[in-house]
Amino acid sequence: MEEGRYARHLALPGFTKAQQDKLLDSCILMVGAGGLGATALPALAGAGVGHITILDHDKIARSNLHRQTIYRDTEVGKHKAEIAAEYLHHLNPDIEIVGLIGRLQDVQIERRYDLVLDGTDNFAAKNFLNEWAIETKTPLISASVHQFTGQSGLFAGHEEGAPCYRCLFPELPDHAPDCSTAGVLGSASGMMGLLQAHMALLYLTGLGDTKPGDFMQVDFLNLRLTKLEVSKNPACPFCGDERQKSAPDTQACSYAPLVAYNDLPHDAVIVDVREAEELEIDPIPGALHIPLMQVPQRLDELPDDKPLAFVCAGNIRSRHAADYLSARGFSNILVLDKFSL
Ligand SMILES: [Zn+2]
């Protein structure tokens, strides 16, 4: 260990070299390198978490830069996972950093992680990650930001008596707007990312009393931080007693495939879930237009005898719409890759 780098840790009361070594031996998987990851990742790398894997399928967009401040304007269009890995490597060349381009359900994760951090921005991805964490027995720190509220909690559904993410959120919300539709202050998502990293450092070093079920809620308008303790729901279909008897309903969390425009079935109906003003500058001829937030009320406008291919500006809202319909029993649902148009 290079002593100088962590000197301010070692000066803390109760922080020993053994705890720093524990961080250096730890492996963290960060799923998502967006608004949460952009502050969580530098905090973890700077603190000397010895192995960090960054998983993200997305590319840097100019509208992300107000909150994803590890990226530069000149890097717009590049893969976040790669650029974030490069940033962390310059910050701390003594640790191992891997950037993986893809989604959790598409990549082969072989390494065991001490902790997985959820930096995703939608419920479908959070649910998938929760199931993955239970299956692989990996403690999960999940965080989210919605306008002026933020949440961050430590979950470990695989442990006796410890809750999973779905113990807290048993129902899938009818609609879950992402940052592009709901809006977000960069400082709010940044603080939630830092809170995630902070909980991770406490948990890994054993400083304080951070344990599964700890859940922080932040009110960013009135500047209030509240801590709740979430308990395991014995009837939780994902981690409770019932799980042994019946397998979780993975169908509800299955992902619609991402399909390039040229590979669409000939009879597919393209459903554009962008807002009206976005269509004006970049219309998709022949597409049915239903903004994401109106999908739940306008289900009867969708043909049920043809493949439905959802599309938006960056494959996030379309993914929400596809997951929403898949969870409600619609079959033949696709996500049309906007970048293939
Ligand atoms: Zn549970």
Q: What is the DSSP string of 88-136?
A: HHHH-TTSEEEEEES-TTTS---S--SEEEE---SHHHHHHHHHHHHHT
Query: Are 172 and 327 within 8 A, CB to CB?
Result: yes
109 — pLDDT class (breaks 50, 70, 90): confident
Q: How far is the CA of 7 from the centre of ligand 1 (A)?
A: 40
User: Start-end ranges of CATH 3.40.50.720 in the chain?
Assistant: 3-250
Average pLDDT, rounded, for the chain:
89
Q: How far apart are CA 120 and CA 96, in angstroms?
A: 22
Lowest mean per-residue pLDDT among 39-53, 105-119, 134-148, 161-175: 161-175
State in Å: Cα 235 to ligand 1 middle. 8
| Gap from CA of 236 to ligand 1 centroid (Å) | 5
Distance (angstroms) between ligand 1 centre and the Cα of 152 equals: 16
Q: For residue 34, what is the DSSP state?
A: S
Q: What is the DSSP string of 226-238?
A: EEEE----TT-TT
Task: Find the 326 Cα to ligand 1 centroid distance in Å.
Answer: 22
For 280-330, write each residue's pLDDT tens digit: 878 898 899 998 878 878 888 998 889 999 998 776 678 778 877 876 778
Q: Coil, strand or helix: which one is 54?
A: strand
Q: What six digits make up the tokens of 283?
A: 């219309």
CATH class of the structural domain 256-340: alpha beta
The two structure tokens encoding residue 73: 């304007």
Neighbours of 255 (CB within 10 A): 18
> Is 3-250 assigned to CATH 3.40.50.10490?
no
Q: Which two tokens mark 229? A: 């303790």
Report the separation in Å between the CA atom of 319 and the middle of ligand 1, taken as the mean of its atom positions.
24
Distance of CA 177 to the CA centre of its chain: 14
Distance 228 CA to ligand 1 centre (A): 16
Q: How far is the CA of 139 from the centre of ligand 1 (A)?
A: 13
Residue 227 in tokens: 């801590």
* 158 CA distance to ligand 1 middle (Å): 9
Question: Is the CA virtual torsion 89, 67, 289, 254 positive or negative?
Answer: positive
- Write down the pTM of the prediction: 0.72
Spatial CA neighbour of 204 closest among 18, 58, 33: 18
**Residue 85 Cα, ligand 1 centroid: separation in angstroms?**
32
What is the distance in A from the centroid of ligand 1 to the CA of 246?
A: 14
pLDDT of amino acid 72? 96
Who contacts 132 (Cβ-Cβ below 8 Å, separation ≥6)? 104, 116, 138
* Distance spanning both ends of the chain, measured CA to CA: 49
Ligand 1 centre and the CA of 192: distance in Å?
22
Cα 132 to ligand 1 centre (Å)? 12
Q: How far is CA 218 from the centre of its chain?
A: 18
Reported as a single tens digit per residue, the pLDDT across 33-70 is 999 999 999 999 999 999 999 999 999 999 999 999 99
CB atoms inside a 10 Å sphere around CB 53: 21
Residue 199 alpha carbon to ligand 1 centre in Å = 20
CB 315 within 8 A of CB 291: no
DSSP label of 143? E
Residue extent(s) of CATH 3.40.250.10 domains in the chain: 256-340
- Whole-number Å distance, alpha carbon 157 to ligand 1 midpoint, is 6
Residue 120 Cα to ligand 1 midpoint, Å, equals 19
**pLDDT confidence of residue 177:** 56
